[in-house]
Amino acid sequence: MKRIATVLGILIIIAGIAHAFEANMYVFAVTETGEGVPATLTVDVNPGNGNIAIDLGKSIVGESTQESVRDAITAATNLLDVNKDRYDFFVKIESPAEKIDGPSAGLAIALAVYGALKGEDVPDYISATGQIDADGTVYPVGGVYEKAKAAHDVGVKIFLIPAGERNTTAEIEEELEPGIVETVVKNIDLVTYAKQTWGMDVYEVQDLEQAVKIVFEGERPETNVSTTQPEELENFVPPEAEVNRSAPFKDLAEKLVRDARKAVTDAQSCSLTLKDPSIEQALRDSLKTSDSMATRAALLLDKGYYYTAANYAFLAKIDAETYANICEHPSLLNPGSVAFQDLLNDTENRINTLFNRLNDVNMNRNNFEWIGAARDRFIRAKYNFENLKLTGYTEPSPLYLRQLMSVREWLDSAEEMYNMGKDIEGPQIGDLEELAKQAIISVEDVSQMVDISDQSIQERIAWAKTAYEHGWYYTAALEAASASGLAMGNVIADRKDPLSALAESMSHRFEPAGIWDELYLNHAAYYYEAAKYYKREGKNEKAKDMARTGLQLYHMAGEIQKIHRSIYSAPSVVVSVEKTTKIELDNKTTAWVALAVLIVSTVLLILLLASGRREGRRKHHEELLKEHRYRRKIMEVEHQIRELEKRLKKSPEDKELKAELAKLKRLLGRYRKSLERIRERKGA
């Protein structure tokens, strides 16, 4: 029996080799007008001598396509461990294109060859795009969104793309208002977008073996939805940065990177279990991104991009601590939990304590950049915390907790910078009120000349005015200058090619006057190098995005440099006391001393009264900010209500729409009551 089974097995193998088999699937290309078009691929395999024939119908075959076919056949036969010289391969692609020249069908051809050799056709609901090497590695191609959309249009349910291409740029039609549709360019996560919009599964694959498991073995990898999209490709390494004045920031950046890596390690050691699998998966994905960002931060630190490294570490730590906190106390997802209220109260207490310390610290010629930056971070933390309290916390979501972790990280940064500067002594700095006022006036003038509706610009203006009300004039000038620089960068990016404009700016690199303008200048240099890298990789839209950010940072650095030059060029306020070995007091001297004491007492009284008025102005300003935020929220909710009411007219029996409308009306009522209370307090 054993001998018979062996003979039968040999006969089956011989039979499989002896007859031809055909495999078919869709492949896709992108036209010159940017439209994805389908083509049909057929692969015939026959016993033979390793001959390869390519039939593209009326299309002309390009050299890269011929090479791609050869690599695809080599990859498939290597994976199956068969001798390709024992077969003849006939590859046919029917396409409307006049010429087919490109490697993007390589993965699909390799899958069809694999299927033909195995005697299995590729399922008609599966397709793929990607360049393939002879060793089976899959490489990126262009137009993945357009190809995925074309695949959906012909009924494909599973679409394979090269690893690393899920985050892409797409032209998408959006209904801005009822009946008004406009095409907008957006950065999307194709895996998430395809699933939510078309119901199509998109999987990233690194090699042919991984693709084969999906196509022929039914494996379905997890389609991870990333919450944070990395800005660069992993293998991008910038050149060394120019570091002079910003060298003292290195210690702070090193600590932040260490803290971020520790936070990631601690989070990874915690086993997360939640009843909602979608929230659990989103948190796991964010931790992977956090790990990648912490690694990136360490690399950039070694290259001298201290602010860029700190920025990555900052984001990595937020995601890691969000994960760790929820992992340790899942009840944080319940707004009524004790753990959640404790975290909220602790954050508020930290804000109040730190405000007093920052208000009382002595700011001088040698520490003003540290103290001013600490106050700046504090204002951001308090601003965001007030917004969180304003929006409320009504549904379990990691997003709210992540925003709360962001507030706490801003407070950590403020404390670190405060500690860097509080013990540094130096000559007293001059009055900066006029400098701050002129910086704010300048950005307000800009607002009348160009569009500064960008949210980040508006926030910086609000922070500048808050700092001014506190009497933190350097911080006010810093934020106002940053807002002006952002606006200038946006205008240039809109009117010129961003990469060319940034290249021209970086070729005239100015000499920084302080720590922060050099940090931002090097941050701009990093984005410049990243933009050039993406340009070389053929990712033109990503290159433009990077260049736009680089322009913003360059002009922010330039405006901050002007502030620093004004401060450093101003004369110091020096207070000196001459020592005497003997003091004799006669009646006349006593009278002068008494008069001096009276004058000093009067000055102190005036300062106390001014401090009281300043505190009054601060509270008044906070009330104005709260009023503004509530009015903005009311307008947003009213708009949402109007949109829902329009939809209800079309679907009057839709219970979900009715429930959502009722919820929004209750929220609107709460906002209006809060606004009334604020106005009552102002009236009182």
Distance from first CA to last CA of the chain, Å, rounded? Answer: 103
Say which residue, 70 or 177, is predicted with more confidence: 70
Q: For strand 87-94 and strand 36-47, is the pairing parallel, antiparallel, or unpaired?
A: antiparallel
H-helix or E-strand containing 553? helix 540-569
Give the pLDDT score at 555. 94
**Residues with Cβ within 8 Å of residue 214, at least 6 apart in sequence:** 126, 158, 160, 203, 205, 220, 221
Banded pLDDT at 446 (limits 50, 70, 90): confident
Q: Range with the lowest mean pLDDT among 92-96, 314-318, 609-613, 646-650?
A: 609-613
Say whether pLDDT at 603 is over 80. no
Residue with more model confidence, 214 or 647:
214
Q: Taking residues 140-157, report their average pLDDT.
A: 88
**According to the per-residue pLDDT averaged within each range, which of 189-193, 292-296, 355-359, 390-394 is highest?**
355-359
Share of the chain above pLDDT 70, in %: 77
- Mean pLDDT along residues 31-45: 82
**Residue 499's pLDDT is what?**
93
Stretch among 121-135, 429-443, 605-619 having the lowest mean pLDDT: 605-619
Supply the pLDDT for residue 332: 87
Q: How far apart are CA 673 and CA 582, in angstroms?
A: 69
Give me the pLDDT at residue 457, please: 84
Helix (H) or strand (E) segment spanning residue 407 = helix 398-421
Gyration radius of the chain's alpha carbons: 32
Average pLDDT over residues 613-627: 54
Question: Can you tell me the mean pLDDT for 114-119?
Answer: 92
Q: Which range has the worst mean pLDDT, 34-48, 71-85, 118-132?
A: 34-48
Number of Cβ within 10 Å of residue 537's Cβ equals 14
Instruction: Assign 632 a pLDDT band (cuts: 50, 70, 90).
Output: low
Summarize pLDDT for 543-559 with one digit per residue, the tens.
Answer: 888 899 999 999 999 99
pLDDT tens figures, 119-137: 888 988 899 999 998 889 8
The per-residue pLDDT for 633 is 67
Q: Name the band, by pLDDT with cuts 50, 70 and 90, for residue 175.
A: very low
DSSP string, 110-139: HHHHHHHHHT-PPPTTEEE--EE-TTSBEE
Token pair of 70, please? Answer: 């050869």
For the ranges 10-24, 230-244, 340-354, 664-678, the maximum mean pLDDT occurs at: 340-354
Task: Categorize the per-residue pLDDT at 647 as very low, low, confident or very high, splitting at 50, 70 and 90.
Answer: confident
pLDDT at 101 over 50: no
Residue 77 predicted with pLDDT over 70: yes
Phi/psi at 24 (5° precision): -130, 150
Q: Output the six-digit token pair for 372.
A: 């001013």
Taking 60 as the threshold, does the pLDDT of residue 227 lie above it?
A: no
Task: Over range 493-515, report the average pLDDT.
Answer: 92
Q: Which residues pair with 183 in a beta bridge?
A: 173
Contact between 162 and 204 (Cβ < 8 Å)? yes
More confident residue, 46 or 649: 46
Q: What is the 3-state secondary structure (H, E, C) of 132-183?
A: ECCCCEEECCCCHHHHHHHHHHCCCCEEEEECCCCEEEEEEEEEEECCEEEE
* Token code pair at residue 562: 């002007």
* C-alpha torsion 480→485→487→488, nearest 10: 140
Neighbours of 478 (CB within 10 A): 29
Average pLDDT, the chain: 80
Crossing angle (nearest 10°) for helices 106-118 and 63-80: 40
Relative to beta strand 167-177, strand 180-189 is antiparallel
Give the model confidence (pLDDT) of 179-199 as tens digits: 444 566 677 888 888 887 787
The predicted structure's pLDDT at residue 60 = 46
pLDDT of residue 110: 94
Residue whose C-alpha is closest to residue 523's, from 486, 566, 484, 488: 486
